[in-house]
A and B are shown apart, each in its own frame.
Chain A
Amino acid sequence: MEERDLICIVCPRGCHLHVDKDLNVTGNFCPRGAVYGKQEVTNPTRVVTSTVRIEGANLAMCPVKTKDPIPKGKIFEVMSSINSVKIVAPVHIGDVIIKDVAGTGVDVVSTRDMEKI
């Protein structure tokens, strides 16, 4: 593994991390930075947030997210899956919109309460 300098994206603090050949992380303010640094050089992942079409609510779109981070290389596959679904109100925060999206083992869930009108 090559040495890498990263900016931590776990929180808005944005620590400058250094990950050495043996996956030791320095420059992190909190333990989550060390986990991120190791993860980012081995298997980078991201939470994807987007929207799905919703019928019967007072807006056209319902915001959603992947419940956990998914592999970075799968982002566009996840997006096309998200863009192929249409849901009906009501939905609530945490409701599963897509189970096991794009074979990642991660669910896409609603991030807004949207009542039926």
Chain B
Amino acid sequence: MLTKDLVIIGGGSAGLAAAIGAYDNGVRDILVIEKGPFLGGILNQCIHNGFGLTEFKEELTGPEFASRFIKQAEERGIECLLNSVVTNVTCDKVVTFVNKGGTTKIKAKAIVMAAGCYERSPGAISLPGDRPSGVINAGQAQLYLNEHGLMCGKRVFILGSGDIGLIMARRLTLEGAKVLGVAELCAWSNGLNRNMVQCLDDYNIPLYLSHTVTNVIGKSRLEKIVISKVDENNVPIEGTEKEFEVDTLILSVGLIPNNILMVKAGAEIARNNGCLVNDKLETSIPGIYSCGNVLHVHDLVDNVVEEAREAGKNAAKYILGNNEINLSSINTKAGEGIGYVVPARIVIGDDEKDATLKFRVRKPSKDVYILFEQNGKVLKKMFKPAIIPSEMEITKLSKELLVKGDELVIRMVKKEAK
């Protein structure tokens, strides 16, 4: 069987950054396996700008950001296989992939999972009504338009106010389509503020908050959709229906980590379908790391590459035998008001001074404290004048503060309550 020190699954921003992180920490025998015909992953179809403000201190488009990481990988001579699909990963780190050359198995010393995410489907949200052509996911419509020059329709409605939906509202408008509106189930937008302004407000596209699609009508092609207002339990309110004659309904209703390989490998899986990792981004299978959108969905690629480099660095430590073994760890817990926390565990007693914690709140909130508590004792307290679910929070916690045994709870409290 072929052997490699490090196999990285996925050649997008996370996979490339992980490879670079591992190389810069001493590993040379690296293979990146990418299923598509290009490196750079989803960035290639994200032709809008706004990428790289943290990483490069300038505003780049997706393809420009990708090209810089592709160059960094090339400069290091990192081996990348294109058009190759990984079909299996085992807990003893054997990776199987398929390409034109057939099926190949590789035994790796360490693996980084960086396979990104996929879009939630119409079925997954129980979209009611017919299934004519013209109901399409936002990322799919973006790929058709930006790489192949194919428009998905002329009169468009968008369900879901995530960033891809907002970006596509503007993009389709610029290409001559009429975007009649965006409906969002939540009472708040799930996209970045700047995208609300420059994608919807700039083009007078209405946003219907607390609304959802309650009927899809069409025989072969979509003819009409119905939206309704929802109550606080997200139940449609009768009598609030609005009809739109459209040929296209775009869904931007969430992304799910593409983590099936790790499920099959037997790793412990979090509620979001990503792996449970410790603060070294190591999964429950020693030597297999996870980063980027396959771990949890990020809003900014700048955060993805930072996380992925860290995963690559830690994989390098593991490969080179510099990993402390038999250390204990504590669990983290998303308490009141917090949607999720990454990592799920923090290793105690290693040589890292800080643990990086990433989390999202459940609801937009103002004047709150975020508390980091162990056994009721507040270890860290952050004041936030405003905090929203669509922006991931990243903070460092000094590991010296942590004691063995008790779980670390992150919760949000109103300022008055404290």
Contact = CB atoms under 8 A, between A and B. Distances in A.
A51 B53 contact: no
Given A48-B174, A111-B61, 18 more contacts: A6-B197, A7-B196, A11-B50, A12-B53, A47-B49, A49-B49, A50-B47, A51-B145, A58-B37, A61-B148, A61-B149, A63-B62, A63-B63, A65-B49, A93-B63, A93-B64, A93-B67, A112-B44
A75 B53 contact: no
Nearest to B71: A113
Interface residues of A, number: 30
Contacts of B48: 49
Given A12-B299, A46-B202, A79 B174 contact: yes
A75 B174 contact: yes
Contacts of B147: 59-61
A90 interface: no
B4 interface: no
A6, A47, A49, A59: most-surrounded residue (chain B CB, <10 A)? A49
B193 interface: yes
B64 A111 contact: yes
A51, A59, A72, A112: most-surrounded residue (chain B CB, <10 A)? A112
Contacts of A14: 192-194
Contact of B148 (A49, A60, A79): A60
A65 B50 CA distance: 12
A48 B50 CA distance: 12
B394 interface: no
B62 to A, nearest CB: 8
Interface of B: 37, 44, 47-50, 53, 59, 61-64, 67, 145-149, 174-175, 192-194, 196-198, 202, 299-300, 391
A7 B64 CA distance: 26
Contacts of A79: 174-175
Contacts of A111: 47, 61, 63-64
25 contacts: A7-B194, A7-B196, A7-B197, A9-B197, A9-B198, A10-B194, A11-B59, A12-B391, A46-B198, A46-B202, A49-B49, A49-B61, A50-B47, A51-B146, A59-B147, A59-B148, A61-B146, A63-B63, A65-B47, A93-B63, A93-B64, A111-B61, A111-B63, A112-B44, A112-B64
A10 B197 CA distance: 11
Contact of B67 (A8, A10, A60, A113): A113
A47 B170 CA distance: 13
A49 B65 CA distance: 14
A38 interface: no
Interface in A39-97: 46-51, 53, 58-61, 63, 65, 72, 75-76, 79, 83, 93
A49 B194 CA distance: 16
Nearest to A59: B147
Contact of B63 (A12, A47, A112): A112
A14 B300 CA distance: 13
Contacts of B174: 48, 50, 75-76, 79
B50 A12 contact: yes
Q: Which 5 A-B pairs have the closest CB atoms?
A: A14-B193, A63-B47, A112-B63, A9-B194, A60-B149
A25 B175 CA distance: 34
A73 to B, nearest CB: 11
A11 B194 contact: yes
Contacts of A7: 193-194, 196-197
Contacts of B44: 112
A58 B82 CA distance: 14
B97 to A, nearest CB: 22
Nearest to A61: B149
A50 B64 CA distance: 13
